[in-house]
Structure 1
Amino acid sequence: MKRIFLLGVLVILFFTLPVTAQKKASLSLEDIYKDRVYQQKSFGPVRWMTDSNGYSTLEPNEEVGGTDIVRYDAKNGKRTVVVSAAQLMPDGKEEPLEISNYNWSSDNHKLLIFTNTKKVWRYNTRGDYWVLDLDSGKLKQFGKTLPESSLMFAKFSPDASKVGYVSNLNIYVEDVEVDTIRQLTSDGGGNIINGTFDWVYEEELNCRDGFRWSPDGQNIAYWQSDTKGVGTFYMINNIDSIYSKPIPMPYPKVGTQLSAVKVGVIPVQGGNTKWFDIPGDPRNNYLARMDFIPGTDEVMIQQLNRRQNTNKVWIGDISSMTIENIITEKDEAFLDIHDDIRWLDNNRYFTWSSERDGWLHLYKISKDGKEIEPITKGSFDVINIDCIDTKGGYVYYIASPDNFTQRYLYRSRIDGKGKAERITPLSDSGQSAYQISENAKWGIQVFQNSTTPPRYSLISLPKHKEIRLLEDNSELGKKYDALALRSKEFIKVDIGDVVLDAWMLKPIDFDATKKYPLLFYVYGEPAGSTVQDNWSIRALYHQYMAQQGYVVVSVDNRGTKTPRGNKWRKSIYGQIGILASEDQSKAAKKILNTYDFLDPERVGIWGWSGGGQMTLNCMFRYPDIYKSGLAVSFVSDQRLYDATYQERYMGLLEDNAKGYHDGSPINFAQNLKGNLMIIHGTADDNVHYQSFEMLIDRLIKYNKLFSMMAYPMRSHSINERENTSYHLRETMEKFWKEKLPAGAR
């Protein structure tokens, strides 16, 4: 009887334990998007101290709440609380300031804290600023007489005696020791923007902080934008009041008028602005970069023409306001702006990134522009400059000559001699990013790959010895491993003209003797890449879809942002949506012909933003391949998008009207055969809801049936307000399971 009882217990355990374990280890949309079970941890933000011997970071204070700013000695790991959260308790307040960001003065004796932040378009660039004097312990709020959370881009003067900032589109300077606020500009507001930028400069040229202290702290150079004549686009808020509220934004669409932008200089003690007279129509050129040359009264200004294929570099003297064109960079297609300038040899030379030899490399150029010598060289792209160590004589940078999906640290001699030296060890197969100290002796490495969440560690350079593990996301790693998912398979797809990189995900219970539906995830635009050996929350969504019974594949077509040289990136010039969708269609056919376990009658495609546009182009231009498609936040007509992005890659409308027509999916909507779902946020300031409605109108005209979902007052990312991300993903899943039946057959 006992034996039967024990056997019964064992049988019960046999059937219950695995079920419980399986339940705990299953992947669900609720876990990913609602409960955030797979949220990764970061480390920092880190600031290397002036002496390069240690770094500061943020850690929670258990006693008073808030966060402490802690310094760690790089060599021995000694921990010192530099600023306690208790020191960040304003008078009359019961809680310390919440630190959204922080910056040190050059001597590390003063701390500038950004808090109470608000979003401006996509980023939290507006808020309150406080300064803590570490010597006296004094905590002071800046701009107290100005509206709450109205300050932007505050920064110390070179001697840290003052702080400059922007509020309500004007520039202010305030003394650190005394409550003296000086308003330098007063014409900001309406059409005039001082010290920051309009929407398109922020989005497409990465320009946000629009003023610079002179090295002697006596002057401020700044951008001024005049948006008069720029078309106003109106978004409509229908859900926060019983009456609709229009939200106006100056937004230059393709072929329309741009803001007029100029650079001026104003004394910190007050006075009139002097303006540089830079040749060319200010409404048909971009002043994309401006910075002081260290230790001088000169600024370097980069002027990009409207076609964005010519970059004129000017040196301007703020005393005489004279300018000189030292170099002019040109490309037959388009140029990208790079932030890799570092002045060398007592300002006689500067570093400059260029694709002039067909690959993106770093050069050393004399101040007069007459001497140009390569620092890095070879058949590979320099992806990112991490540190230029002038004393040691090396530049440290990210590159990946042999695998375009991965990223590694290299170094080359500044004098251009010798070969590139790989620093990241071979064992770290995947992607690494670094934050390197000024003296290039230490670095914070962030390592990841498609199965390893970000791992932060302190390393010594150049031998790349790990000194200390800072954060390894081990809990997340265990959760991921418990799912027992199949890893991404990185594959090559030969479409004849070129071999493309791709990845494939299969279900856990994959059976190669059966046939599965194929779901393509696409982007395909020059702003990004989907085929990367990195960790991504997006990958969890695709793993989820694989577990529902789909084989998920992503392919990088020509023109995507991968380190494959100038020819690869510029191949799509003038034909956005045309060449890329052709590449995608050829890749789809090749993949279907290569893998017998894929069902050609169940092929789906989806993407977001540029990937939404790509989805529509594939569905409309190659309707016999793709049976179902889901497009999110897409551009349906390229003329509706902003001038700066679209004209960079397509040329001017007057020169390439046919390209704009043929690259816009709306013009091929009549070819739709399969199942289509379109999704958009009504408050999308990037790709306007107008694009969504115009496509709807065209589909109705041709009597094409489709599904749609609009998210009220959600932006381009469709993640604002309660439950949005979860609802969106469930909506997507419902469409796929209805229109592209899952599972093996």
Structure 2
Amino acid sequence: MTQNTSYWLRQTFTAVTAVIFISGCSSLPSMSDTSTASSSQGTETLQFDQLYGEGKFNARGVGPTRWLANGSGYTVLETAENGGQDLVRYHPETQQRTVLVEADNLRPSATEEPLNVADYSWSEDGKKLLIFTNTKRSWRTHTLGDYWVYNLSTKRLQKLGGKAEPSTLQFAKFDPQATRVAYVMKNNIYVEDLNSKKITQLTKDGDETIVNGTFDWVNEEEFFLRDGFRWSPDGRSIAYWQLDTEGTPLFTMINNTDSLYPTLKQFPYPKVGETNAAMRIGVMPANGGDTTWMKVPGDPRQNYLVRMQWAGNSSQLLIQQLTRSQAVNKAYLANARSGAVRELLQEVTESWAEYVDDLQFIDGGKSFTWLSERSGFRHIYVVQRDTGRLSTITRGNWDVIEVLQINEDDGWVYFIASPETPLERYLFRASLDGSGKLERLTPDQPGTHSYQLSADAKYAVHTYSDVDNMPVVDMISLPDHRRIRVIKDNQNAQDAFDQLKRGMFEFFQVEAQDGLKLDGFLMKPADFDASKKYPIVFYVYGEPWGQTVANSWGGERFLFHTYLTQQGYIVASVDNRGTRSPRGFEWRRSIYKNLGDITVRDQHDALQAMLKRWDFIDGDRVGIWGHSGGGSQTLNALFRYPEAYHVGMALAPVPDLTLYDTIYQERYSGLLPESADRYRETSAITHAANLQGDLLLVHGTGDDNVHFQGSERLVNELIKHGKQFDYFAYPNRTHGISEGKGTTQHLRTMMVEFLKENLPVSAP
């Protein structure tokens, strides 16, 4: 779930791996029924010490990459000879290398080490650098830290925040003129003049419950709302969110290990049906003064203000508001001076509507781009600012996956899509004039492609991978997609992977009981013999925020599965309906109020179809595992189909859906009390009495996302019904169960030993 999902996404959708899991569609062309993706002639056995200790197979990225606004190139961080990081510019065409900022220039004093740069941003003119360092977590991401400004002309390094405590600043950014920087500190917004060093506190009511310029746990996690303020284009005003968390129940976590006596951590966390924080948006002068609050209609605790931006000028805001059920998304134009609002358009569904991230004002602010699923597929539109009338830019029975850039000067919008097979991703561009002109820019190279485009869209940092090849990062020119330079090839890790003993990897399709086609992959042992019977282990996620079947590099999980095949297991995964795949509106919304029900029915249907197709799968030795939402689906498979699944490993699951947060769970399962019956039916804990197979339940006690509380409730339910199972709690580990030396290797080792004991490779 985003619980599980947003963790899952952050672990999978990274610039390093460019892994994008997407699935196939019955209404679209797809890969052949049993397309063989890869095989290997390697001879080496994978060792966990190499995988988790030595990092021998780690595919690495190039760090934060930034295009300069003036088109002179892109910048990356590179390790300096004497320690620290140099900030280096490469010319996009010639690839001439220029060190713009030496590591030695980033020493706070002559006796101190250079700053360890976690992230950075450039002023519009490229003459000043804003550096983020000394970071720590706020909720689940590292948004707290220290900020420094480096002036390339004077070579002066300046720390922001005055005498602020270390690692207490958030979201610092230059004003349009790069003479001031605004930031959040302890739930208040400040502006600091770079010349005079004068700090002006703009908001003064921030405290434990009033949050200015940033967000609470649930909005950060589920709407990806973190940075909560925006400079106006003229630099005279700042628009910002304010949250009031008073009344939101506090969740308490206990830490038993880090001190002599247990310590408690409390934070506002609204579970299903509970009180949300009140949200409002205001505009205030950047030099200090009163806030004008936008008069967006509706109860601020029963609606979400999910997106806000300046509306192509410095006098209006464009605000998107979702109802609490999330069935309706409304777009408003708000007057920054008076607070008056005018509704422009609505997206209305019977399930949930999507908010729009990729929105840009064009035509001198007279219109803006929009994404909508109103045609049945996600497409790009242009909305007239005065009337709200929409005109179509892209069309067809396929989805726009992500808008990368809108280049009004050239008349193109650049986006990611995959009309022919939802298992892959490619770069396209479409004409902004509505003529329907569409061009695919990615060459015929099956796999997953991602791009960071230059401002003029003439160049891009391009990352490519497939199931057999780790990510390769290169510089290309556009629109011809000509390779200029390989930036990162991960060749050493690729060579190590190529030496591993591996069997055949196949993509396939099977039908659910209603005829809907489901995509899957199958990994066979290296010494596979079709005349033998093999145990099979399914990996499942199955929720609306991710897919598991894609032609892309699978990272650590894929290597773990490779290890299982070397032990003699078949490994498979199937994407059930409802996964976040470019297969249209109906595919994604089909699981509304049916998470854990129809999702696992599809998994069971796929298993039955595979048993009929392939005699080498032993139907008496079937295992399944998953993490987070996949842990929930694993429990549902074991409890709902006990005769079909014999072994399950559920990591950080949500056994009772009412224990998860409002935004995620109400979006997919409905509101209480009217949906109470569906919550009960779709929660795995309701069916725990049916357990027959062997269950391994694993959870981190420090999980602030999917709370340990849920697994504890499941333990009690299983005990009540006399069910034996294996149970392991990792002290103070969060949702990823990864903190602490040796944790990941310990977890995977435990999983392998559990499989070998309860799902033996040799048939009884």
Return the TM-score normalized by structure 1.
Answer: 0.95
- Is 1:722 the counterpart of 2:741? The answer is yes
What is the CA distance between 1:130 and its match in structure 2? Answer: 0.2
Which residues of 2 match residues 151-550 of structure 1 at below 5 A?
Answer: 151-426=169-444, 428-497=445-514, 498-536=516-554, 537-550=556-569
What is the CA distance between 1:744 and its match in structure 2? Answer: 6.9
- Is 1:591 the counterpart of 2:587? The answer is no
What is the CA distance between 1:30 and its match in structure 2? Answer: 2.1
Instruction: Flag as ranges the 4+ runs of structure 1 deviating above 6 A.
Output: none
Instruction: Answer whether contact 1:450 1:487 (CA < 8 A) is retained.
Output: no
Task: State the distance in 2 between where 1:241 and 1:608 align.
Answer: 29
SS in 1 for 2:137: strand
What is the CA distance between 1:722 and its match in structure 2? Answer: 1.7
Where does residue 11 of structure 1 map in the other structure? none
What is the CA distance between 1:185 and its match in structure 2? Answer: 1.0
What is the CA distance between 1:655 and its match in structure 2? Answer: 2.1
Task: State the distance in 2 between where 1:714 and 1:432 align.
Answer: 33
- Is 1:666 the counterpart of 2:685? The answer is yes
Residues 90-99 or 668-677, more deviating: 90-99
What is the CA distance between 1:487 and its match in structure 2? Answer: 4.7
Instruction: Answer whether contact 2:292 2:337 (CA < 8 A) is retained.
Output: no
Task: State the distance in 1 between where 2:110 and 2:217 align.
Answer: 38
SS in 2 for 1:596: coil
Which one of the candidate residues 44, 47, 55 is aligned to 1:28? Answer: 47
Question: 1:417-470 CA deviation, whole Å, 9 max, x = no partner?
Answer: 1342211100x2100000001111111110000111001111111111111111
Question: 1:590-624 CA deviation, whole Å, 9 max, x = no partner?
Answer: 11121100111100010000000000001000000
What is the CA distance between 1:212 and its match in structure 2? Answer: 0.6
Instruction: Answer whether contact 2:292 2:338 (CA < 8 A) is retained.
Output: no
Q: Are the structure 2 counterparts of residues 466 and 743 from structure 1 closer, same or farther at C-alpha, using a change threshold of 3 Å?
A: farther
Task: State the distance in 2 between where 1:157 and 1:24 align.
Answer: 58
What is the CA distance between 1:24 and its match in structure 2? Answer: 8.8
Instruction: Answer whether contact 1:215 1:297 (CA < 8 A) is retained.
Output: no
Task: State the distance in 2 between where 1:487 and 1:632 align.
Answer: 28
What is the CA distance between 1:229 and its match in structure 2? Answer: 0.7
Task: State the distance in 1 between where 2:348 and 2:175 align.
Answer: 36
Instruction: Answer whether contact 2:326 2:353 (CA < 8 A) is retained.
Output: yes
Question: 1:75-131 CA deviation, whole Å, 9 max, x = no partner?
Answer: 111111111111111125431111100000000010000000001222111100000
Where does residue 140 of structure 2 map in the other structure? 122
Question: 1:399-422 CA deviation, whole Å, 9 max, x = no partner?
Answer: 111111111111111112134221
Instruction: Answer whether contact 1:548 1:743 (CA < 8 A) is retained.
Output: no
Q: Percent identity?
A: 47
Task: State the distance in 2 between where 1:271 and 1:296 align.
Answer: 17
Which residues of 2 match residues 132-147 of structure 1 at below 5 A?
Answer: 132-147=150-165
Task: State the distance in 2 between where 1:684 and 1:153 align.
Answer: 25
SS in 1 for 2:314: coil
Task: State the distance in 1 between where 2:87 and 2:695 align.
Answer: 51
Instruction: Answer whether contact 1:522 1:614 (CA < 8 A) is retained.
Output: yes
What is the CA distance between 1:23 and its match in structure 2? Answer: 11
What is the CA distance between 1:538 and its match in structure 2? Answer: 1.0
Task: State the distance in 1 between where 2:387 and 2:603 align.
Answer: 42
Where does residue 686 of structure 1 map in the other structure? 705
Q: Which runs of 5+ in 2 are unaligned?
A: 1-40
Where does residue 14 of structure 1 map in the other structure? none
What is the CA distance between 1:204 and its match in structure 2? Answer: 0.4
What is the CA distance between 1:44 and its match in structure 2? Answer: 3.4
Matching residue's letter, 2:56: V
What is the CA distance between 1:710 and its match in structure 2? Answer: 0.2
Task: State the distance in 2 between where 1:509 and 1:409 align.
Answer: 38
Where does residue 667 of structure 2 map in the other structure? 648
Question: 1:187-218 CA deviation, whole Å, 9 max, x = no partner?
Answer: 11121111100001000001000011111111
Task: State the distance in 2 between where 1:637 and 1:609 align.
Answer: 12
Which residues of 2 match residues 55-134 of structure 1 at below 5 A?
Answer: 55-63=74-82, 65-134=83-152
Task: State the distance in 2 between where 1:681 and 1:330 align.
Answer: 39
- Is 1:553 the counterpart of 2:553? The answer is no
Q: Which has the larger radius of gyration?
A: 1
Task: State the distance in 1 between where 2:107 and 2:762 align.
Answer: 58
Task: State the distance in 2 between where 1:442 and 1:692 align.
Answer: 49
Instruction: Answer whether contact 2:367 2:383 (CA < 8 A) is retained.
Output: yes
Task: State the distance in 2 between where 1:61 and 1:294 align.
Answer: 41
Matching residue's letter, 1:438: A
Residues 547-556 or 23-32, more deviating: 23-32
Task: State the distance in 1 between where 2:419 and 2:77 align.
Answer: 36
Matching residue's letter, 1:69: L
Task: State the distance in 2 between where 1:407 and 1:626 align.
Answer: 33
Task: State the distance in 2 between where 1:82 and 1:279 align.
Answer: 49
Instruction: Give the paired residue count.
Output: 722
Matching residue's letter, 1:652: L
Task: State the distance in 2 between where 1:186 and 1:715 align.
Answer: 33
Q: Are the structure 2 counterparts of residues 743 and 384 from structure 1 closer, same or farther at C-alpha, using a change threshold of 3 Å?
A: farther
Where does residue 562 of structure 1 map in the other structure? 581
Matching residue's letter, 2:489: D
Matching residue's letter, 1:684: D
Task: State the distance in 2 between where 1:700 and 1:719 align.
Answer: 28
What is the CA distance between 1:316 and its match in structure 2? Answer: 1.0
Task: State the distance in 1 between where 2:385 and 2:650 align.
Answer: 49
Return the TM-score normalized by structure 2.
Answer: 0.93
Task: State the distance in 1 between where 2:388 and 2:295 align.
Answer: 24
Where does residue 5 of structure 1 map in the other structure? none
Matching residue's letter, 2:341: I
Task: State the distance in 2 between where 1:263 and 1:418 align.
Answer: 37
Residues 187-196 or 611-620, more deviating: 187-196
Instruction: Answer whether contact 2:622 2:646 (CA < 8 A) is retained.
Output: yes
Greater RCO, CA 8 A, separation 6+: 2
Instruction: Answer whether contact 1:514 1:744 (CA < 8 A) is retained.
Output: no
Instruction: Answer whether contact 2:42 2:500 (CA < 8 A) is retained.
Output: no
Task: State the distance in 1 between where 2:379 and 2:534 align.
Answer: 44
Task: State the distance in 2 between where 1:32 and 1:200 align.
Answer: 34
Task: State the distance in 1 between where 2:318 and 2:763 align.
Answer: 61
Task: State the distance in 2 between where 1:50 and 1:591 align.
Answer: 53
Task: State the distance in 2 between where 1:627 and 1:487 align.
Answer: 25
Task: State the distance in 2 between where 1:726 and 1:688 align.
Answer: 23
Question: 1:519-552 CA deviation, whole Å, 9 max, x = no partner?
Answer: 0100000011111111122100111111111000
Q: Are the structure 2 counterparts of residues 606 and 111 from structure 1 closer, same or farther at C-alpha, using a change threshold of 3 Å?
A: same
